[in-house]
Amino acid sequence: MSSRAMVSSSFSHLGTSHSLLRKTPSPYGLAAPETCLGCQLGNTEFFCKLSESSKKALDLIKHVSSYPERSIIFMEGEEARGVYILCQGRAKLLTTNGEGKTLILKIARPGEVLGLNSLLTNRPHDITVETLQPCQLAFVSRQEFMRYIREHSDACFHVAQHAGRDCHSAYESVRSIGLSSSASEKLARFLVDWSADGKITEGILRVKLALTHEEIAQLIGSSRETVSRTLSEFKRQNLLELNGSTMLLRNKAALQNMAGI
């Protein structure tokens, strides 16, 4: 854990940090819209589908702040002080065991609400969230969030939906990790899933990996070396190519087949 992350982590524990950070409009190279009313996440995200009045009410209680990469937003075991809505950047949701082994449950993208289930069920956080890039997050304290969803029934419904989605994605994780027979199957599945946000240029599917082999291993429940070796094997079989962090998927069908999709 880098000291930078630690600094940011303690930031997030200061009551005044959010208003403080709001006075620095564009830290870490992020544009800082500072409002959800003009949110550009589109209609696909829950909190963008709220009624106008609920949007405005949310706007009044949220505190947007920016974090550098590798910031710990909250940690497993910590009391849940509120929820964080991821506005910009990516963050990993992870859990660790005593021996330092880490499992990444999911890579969160903008629109994701983090720490929701701990707040709803009134428990300490069951996961750790760490930014992968500079991120912008809107914080809403426990008290204000609870009041908000009690007073805005449409928001409450969206919260329930969001929790349902989280649950679904967790089931996907268990299935992938628990029902796979080999590491290549899991890696293939990861690559196919990840390629969803790749782009096709000149007939070739290009995807930004932007994860280390170590992180991929933690995502699929394997070891760094196995990921490295299996990726090499995939290259040898001409299923893909790697140029830096860009991957060219040459034979997605074959990978899907291996993944059992």
Interacting residue ranges for a copy of itself, rule: CB under 8 A? 95-99, 101, 103, 105, 116-121, 123, 126-127, 149-150, 153, 156-157, 159-161, 163-168, 170-175, 177-181, 221, 260
**Inter-residue long-range contacts of 21-26, CB under 8 Å, 24+ positions, other chains counted:** 21/65, 21/66, 22/63, 22/64, 22/65, 24/66, 26/66
Residues 241-260 that bind DNA (CB under 7 A): 242
For DNA, the binding residue among 149, 191, 207, 231 (CB under 7 A) is 231
**Biggest distance spanned by C-alpha atoms of the chain:** 58
CB 240 within 8 A of CB 247: yes
Interface with DNA: number of residues (CB under 7 A): 19
**CA–CA distance, 186 with 192 (Å, rounded to integer):** 10
> Taking CB under 7 A as the rule, does residue 133 contact DNA?
no
Residue 205 contact among a copy of itself, DNA, none, beta carbon within 5 to 8 Å by kind: none
> Taking CB under 7 A as the rule, does residue 24 contact DNA?
no
Which is nearer to DNA, 55 or 70 (by Cβ)? 70
CB 219 within 8 A of CB 186: no
Interaction pattern, residues 197-226, with DNA; x per rule: CB under 7 A: ---------------xxx------xxxxxx
Query: Sign of dihedral through CA atoms 119, 112, 77, 219?
Result: positive
> Taking CB under 7 A as the rule, does residue 44 contact DNA?
no
